[in-house]
Amino acid sequence: MEPYDHRAIEAKWQDYWEERETFATPTDRTRPKYYVLDMFPYPSGAGLHVGHPKGYVATDVVARARRMMGFNVLRVMGWDSFGLPAERQADKEGAHPRDITERNIKTFKLQLRRLGLSYDWKRELATSSPEYYKWTQWIFLELFKAGLAFQAEIPVNWCPALGTVLANEEVKDGRYVETGDLVEQRRMKQWMLKITAYAERLVDGLDSVDWPEGIKEMQRHWIGRSEGAVVRFAVADRADSFEIFTTRPDTLFGCTYCVLAPEHPLVGALTTPDQAEAVAAYRAEVGRRSDRDRMSQAVDAPKTGCFTGAYAINPVNGQRVPIWIADYVLASYGSGAVFACPAHDERDHAFARAFGLPIVRVVEGGPDVAEAAYTGDGPHVASAFLDGLDITGAKRAIITWLTDRGAGHGTIQYRLRDWLFSRQRYWGEPFPLVFRDDGTPVPVPVGDLPVALPEIAERKATEDGRPPLARAVAWMQATDPTTGLPAVRETNTMPQWAGSCWYYLRFISPDRSDVPWDREEERYWMPVDLYVGGAEHATLHLLYARFWHQVLYDLGHVSTPEPFQRLYNQGMIHATSYRDAAGRYWYPEEVEVRDGVTVSRATGVEVFPKMEKMSKSKYNVVNPDDMCERYGADAMRLYELFMGPLEDGALWETSGVAGTRRFLDRLWRLAHDEKVSASAVASRDLDRALHQAIRRVTDAVESLKFNTAISDMMVYVNEATKAAAVPAAHVDALVRIVAPFAPHLAEELWAASGHHESVTYAPWPEWDEAKLAVDLVTVAVQVSGKLRGQIDVAVDAAEADVLAAAKALPDVARWIEGKQLVREVYVPGRIVNLVVR
């Protein structure tokens, strides 16, 4: 018998698949389809570590098994290749981001190829290619024409040192997280997408998809639908008024003051002269803190604020209440103003306590409202016509009252904000728009797309702070397609989220240059049946993509209301990192354990092991290429899924790969053993082990519980190894269920047993329910709930016989002797419990 040489076998079959185009997407449309999709990666310079392929391996098993089950499978991979890191790397190396991106893609692709993933590489796409972003621009124009893209002057995070705008998540404590450069708020004209118009639909659509409840909940919270009322308060002694939003209009009679956001447009006008100085000082202080910093403060942070000197008239009772400004009221939510009812709102309560404002109870219940806000239900008091009603009744009554008098109305408010869609960077999609002299944006005709990214010498913002594309002076000069007059191009680019919003559609017909996707093919393949990726995309990518999809659906471009029918999040892989007291990280091979203490091998200084996310900077990454080299891609694939449930995080242990490798070695030996023959007859136990494994693996294709399915295959191989004879048909079925997990080895064994076609399209084995059945079962015998023995009985044995046999066991008789039997329980095939007193 030849030894199992994983290097030769894996290289051989990877070449075979590539030459024969084994994984080309089938073209006949008579069979059922299965579209299984990985969240495509950003091709970073660091390459893959073993954490990345966990999801890819899982989807590969599903894809390969589904092919064998007779499905047409769409299994594809691409690159989310626009984005800032490539741009920064390019500046560092004096190269072009395109070249950096191409280089990184090449590395990623080689690493993925070594894992034997069954992608149809002819459908590969990259969001940064003009053939692709032509259609990203086209979708933007569809949004623009539908009135869902608009421009607004809004504050952005401007980093003067880098000459660029930064995303919110890149700024912390007023500094750029990577370099520590100061970031300031600057107002700039930005493109926005009206995602808020789809807020309701985005919430409702969640009910129709098969996603983890946690992710749905995160999206619901992000969208933040809340029902309430808008109420107009007049400013006393002035012609002005302002609107407030509240979810508790029933507590309006408990209003003792109002609060405007410091940025509220009315603040300047209504502040009285004697308060002007204090208000200006407070607003300046708040302005120094970014919105994000304000938000990141804990709820229990001390409340700050300032009285404006002005008063508002409470429309329900005509009372004059002071108007304050405070940063606990956010300008960007609702109308940027609230009425305060400190008796029944915790935030208002804290504020009232801090500034000595009155607290008036209007709902009965709870302890003294001078001590704490009461937010529970109860009969209303001191509320005129609301007295005696509960919250629901009072809300209904007050909204009717307000509506009748034109003082307010019921409404629904969303936390979701419109999507800031422009970036002042180079490496992104240019906007397909030109501006007339008067600033009117005009779409570039579809026939002229794509608007290609121009070449510029320096990819920095201009001296006067315009985006890098403003340096492409000639490129900027365009003509207005409607009038023929000169016009200038938009110099912002789209955010990285744009390309990933629709890539799953482009995979359907990536080669078509006349349409973004073929309509008939789209109807066949959509929706994505299984979408696997990290939970970190719960709110941004997955919400943006759903929004675009719903717009495309409304415009009649796609056939399904939701893009991703089933979503699954794979857990993150962690590894042990070692850090000394000074905070320096050490490589695992630099440390050792001496007398129970982990120390640096070289210096003897103590280091502290910790389980952390795999990261280059933490010196704890494990490279998949090393695993493929030492143990083989098949062993590595198995280990990735055997570690534990797919959705859980897990600690990487390279010794575990050695374990799955030993399993493959045993399988290899078994398949080559001469005890395997066409005439061999399997024992019932061996038969059952095989059919159990078939069943579990088949179920796992749906449930994604691969860890237990792999364990059942191990059980079979262990038993078959011990068996005297093994039928060839067993090995034949075994190889087929192993094939999705360890495809290279399976191909080799499949060929060795006389098959001339790839195992890829071999029929999936079926389990036989009869073979799973047992005729003799072991029944546990308990006395008063304690295990005292066990008996083997026929599955269909009569209860009386089983109980008699149980009582006859010496170890059981011992415990019931001299006692009174008060109850006898027999659960067929499982347990006997003899209760004594």
Interaction residues for RNA, span 708-737 (CB under 7 A): 708, 710-711, 714-715, 718, 721-722
User: Are 638 and 710 spatial neighbours (Cβ–Cβ below 8 Å)?
Assistant: yes
391 binds RNA (CB under 7 A): no
CB 46 to RNA: min, Å: 19
Closer CB to RNA, 143 or 321, in the complex: 321
835 binds RNA (CB under 7 A): yes
375 binds RNA (CB under 7 A): no
Q: How far apart are CA 750 and CA 757, in angstroms?
A: 9
Residue of 64, 66, 114, 248 that binds RNA (CB under 7 A)? 248
- In DSSP terms, 423 is beta-bridged to 493
784 binds RNA (CB under 7 A): yes
Kindly write out the interface string for residues 218-237 of this chain, putting x where it contacts RNA by CB under 7 A and - elsewhere: x--x--x-x-x---------
Kindly write out the interface string for residues 82-111 of this chain, putting x where it contacts RNA by CB under 7 A and - elsewhere: ------------------------------
Please report, for residues 240, 783, 789, 817, the alpha-carbon distance to residue 821 in angstroms, rounded to integers and kept in the order given. Answer: 87, 10, 17, 10
CA angle 337, 343, 348 (to 5 degrees): 35
The SS3 assignment for 10 reads: helix
Say if residue 527 is preceded by a cis peptide, omega within 30 of 0.
Answer: yes
301 binds RNA (CB under 7 A): yes
Closer CB to RNA, 93 or 536, in the complex: 536
Closer CB to RNA, 42 or 524, in the complex: 42
Q: How far apart are CA 148 and CA 162, in angstroms?
A: 31
> What's 612's DSSP letter?
E
Instruction: Please work out the total of residues on this chain that contact RNA, with binding judged by CB under 7 A.
Output: 85
Region from 19-27, 62-70, 193-201, 774-782 binding RNA, contact rule CB under 7 A: 774-782
643 binds RNA (CB under 7 A): yes
437: tokens are 């002299």
294 binds RNA (CB under 7 A): yes
Cα torsion for 803, 809, 810, 814, to the nearest 10°? -30
659 binds RNA (CB under 7 A): yes
The SS3 assignment for 245 reads: strand
413 binds RNA (CB under 7 A): yes
CB 527 to RNA: min, Å: 24
Residue of 666, 672, 755, 807 that binds RNA (CB under 7 A)? 666
Site for RNA in 802-831 (CB under 7 A): 811, 823, 825, 827, 830-831
Closer CB to RNA, 201 or 395, in the complex: 395
Closer CB to RNA, 327 or 529, in the complex: 327
Region from 12-20, 83-91, 265-273, 650-658 binding RNA, contact rule CB under 7 A: 650-658
Q: How far apart are CA 450 and CA 444, in angstroms?
A: 9
Kindly write out the interface string for residues 251-280 of this chain, putting x where it contacts RNA by CB under 7 A and - elsewhere: ----------x-------------------
644 binds RNA (CB under 7 A): yes
CB 698 to RNA: min, Å: 13
How many residues in total does the chain contain?
837
Q: How far apart are CA 773 and CA 474, in angstroms?
A: 78
19 Cβ partners below 8 Å, 6+ apart? none
Kindly write out the interface string for residues 785-804 of this chain, putting x where it contacts RNA by CB under 7 A and - elsewhere: xxxx-x--------------
Closer CB to RNA, 396 or 466, in the complex: 396
656 binds RNA (CB under 7 A): yes
Kindly write out the interface string for residues 311-350 of this chain, putting x where it contacts RNA by CB under 7 A and - elsewhere: ----------------xxxx--xx-x-x------x-x--x
Enumerate the H helices of 673-816 as residue ranges. Answer: 684-703, 706-722, 728-738, 743-752, 769-772, 799-808, 810-816
85: tokens are 């890191």
The SS3 assignment for 410 reads: strand
Residue of 141, 538, 628, 694 that binds RNA (CB under 7 A)? 538
- Give exposure, 676-709, as e/b (b: 16+ Cβ within 10 Å): beeebebeeebbbbbbbbbbbbbebbeebebbeb
300 binds RNA (CB under 7 A): yes
Closer CB to RNA, 560 or 790, in the complex: 790
CA angle 824, 827, 833 (to 5 degrees): 35
Three-state SS letters, 327-351: CCCCCCCCCCEEEECCCCCHHHHHH
Closer CB to RNA, 57 or 143, in the complex: 57
CB 694 to RNA: min, Å: 13
CB 539 to RNA: min, Å: 6
Angle between helices 743-752 and 633-642 (to 10 degrees): 120
CB 140 to RNA: min, Å: 26
Side chain identity at residue 233, one-letter code:
F
User: Are 659 and 638 spatial neighbours (Cβ–Cβ below 8 Å)?
Assistant: no
CB 662 to RNA: min, Å: 5
